[in-house]
């Protein structure tokens, strides 16, 4: 079912309530600068801070960032260790920014697989920000969409066997209830950086009708101007959710940068 469309004249049309981002290209950016791969992740933190702050300021209701996938655990041990230490530091250092912008933090994924220090920092930051009434920032950590569906299916099977769910009552909303975060609406806009044309096992259920925008810049280069370009591109989209839109205006051609539509 199509959600109500928010119009923003300053962007020329619809405005997304929920943005999801695949933050790609940290290592590629670092190599291009003659730096070690891990330093690209450190630089990427600055983009996280700026994009989070800008989205909160502009009135985005939810922002989901693909921070660490279940597959990322396959990377070299030293890199994974660096990323987990960087995550712990980020969760502590960004608390003032989150509080000053009224941002609530929530994480989704197989969080029990995170190191104890990172998980403790995460839970404390979630606790400190839970009463904030502004934007919801979701970090996808130890996350994979197939893992999310498998975990949900296991919980569903237990409920079905126990009689808490009846087979004849199963529909899309029933299954949604077994996702990691069933209450946050689906993303309106999915942004992927570094020019890659794939969704990388991210929110496969939730992005069924998301608009997709691909930025050529690597994540450390994705800042406010690139975010504005994505929002302006989204404002030109006509969202049909598989149906028809009567008297819908023809979308304006994108003359600034490439975008990719999802229908």
Q: What does the pLDDT look like over 117-174, one tens digit per residue? A: 999 999 999 999 999 999 999 999 999 999 999 999 999 999 999 999 999 989 999 9
Q: Residue 241's pLDDT is what?
A: 77
Into how many domains does the chain fold?
1
Tens-place pLDDT, residues 196-224: 999 999 999 999 999 999 999 999 999 99
Tens-place pLDDT, residues 13-35: 899 999 999 999 999 999 999 99
Tens-place pLDDT, residues 37-94: 999 999 999 999 999 999 999 999 999 999 999 999 999 999 999 999 999 999 999 9
Q: What is the CA radius of gyration of the chain?
A: 19
For residue 173, being part of any structural domain is answered with no
- Alpha-carbon dihedral 59, 18, 232, 203, rounded to 10 degrees: 160
Q: What are the tokens at 65?
A: 């960032």
For residue 177, being part of any structural domain is answered with no
Tens-place pLDDT, residues 66-77: 999 999 999 999
CATH code, domain with 63: 3.40.1180.10
Dist. CA 241–CA 99, nearest whole Å:
36
Q: Is pLDDT of 4 > 60?
A: no
For residue 240, being part of any structural domain is answered with no
Q: What are the tokens at 258?
A: 């490439």
Average pLDDT, the chain: 91
Q: Is pLDDT of 233 > 80?
A: yes
* Phi, psi for 105 (deg, rounded to 5): -105, 135
Q: Is pLDDT of 251 > 60?
A: no
For residue 254, being part of any structural domain is answered with no
For residue 161, being part of any structural domain is answered with no
SS3 28: helix
CA nearest 23: which of 73, 72, 79, 96?
A: 72
Q: Are 178 and 226 in contact (CB under 8 A)?
A: no
CA nearest 134: which of 49, 61, 55?
A: 61
Domain, as residue range, for 66: 6-144+185-234
Q: Are 203 and 222 in contact (CB under 8 A)?
A: no
Q: Kindly list the catalytic residues.
A: 24, 72
For residue 192, being part of any structural domain is answered with yes
> CB neighbours (10 Å) of residue 137?
26
For residue 257, being part of any structural domain is answered with no
Helices marked H in the chain: 26-32, 37-58, 77-93, 95-100, 116-129, 145-161, 172-176, 224-234
pLDDT band for position 252 (cuts 50, 70, 90): low
For residue 255, being part of any structural domain is answered with no
**Concatenated DSSP letters for 76-124?**
-HHHHHHHHHHHHHHHHHTHHHHHHTT-EEEEES-GGGS-HHHHHHHHH
């Amino acid at each position: 079912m199509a959600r109500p469309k928010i119009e923003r004249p300053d962007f020329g049309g619809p405005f997304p309530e929920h943005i999801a981002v695949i933050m790609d290209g940290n290592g590629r950016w670092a190599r291009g600068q003659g730096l070690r791969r891990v330093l690209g992740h450190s630089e990427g933190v600055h983009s996280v801070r700026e994009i989070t702050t800008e989205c909160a300021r502009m009135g985005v209701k939810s922002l989901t960032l693909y921070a660490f996938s279940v597959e990322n655990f396959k990377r070299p041990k030293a890199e994974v260790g660096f990323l987990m230490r960087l995550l712990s530091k980020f969760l502590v250092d960004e608390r003032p920014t989150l509080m000053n912008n009224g941002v609530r933090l929530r994480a989704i994924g197989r969080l029990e697989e995170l190191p104890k220090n990172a998980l403790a920092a995460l839970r404390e930051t979630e606790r400190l920000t839970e009463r904030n009434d502004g934007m919801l920032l979701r970090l996808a950590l130890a996350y994979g969409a197939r893992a999310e569906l498998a975990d949900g299916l296991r919980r569903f099977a237990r409920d079905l066997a126990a009689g808490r769910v009846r087979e004849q009552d199963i529909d899309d909303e029933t299954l949604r209830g077994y996702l990691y975060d069933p209450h946050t609406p689906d993303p309106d806009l999915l942004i992927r950086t570094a020019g890659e044309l794939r969704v990388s096992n991210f929110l496969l259920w939730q992005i069924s009708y998301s608009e997709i925008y691909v930025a050529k810049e690597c994540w450390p280069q994705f800042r406010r101007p690139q975010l504005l370009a994505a929002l302006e591109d989204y404002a030109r989209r006509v969202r049909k959710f598989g149906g028809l839109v009567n008297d819908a205006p023809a979308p304006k051609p994108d003359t600034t940068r490439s975008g990719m539509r999802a229908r």
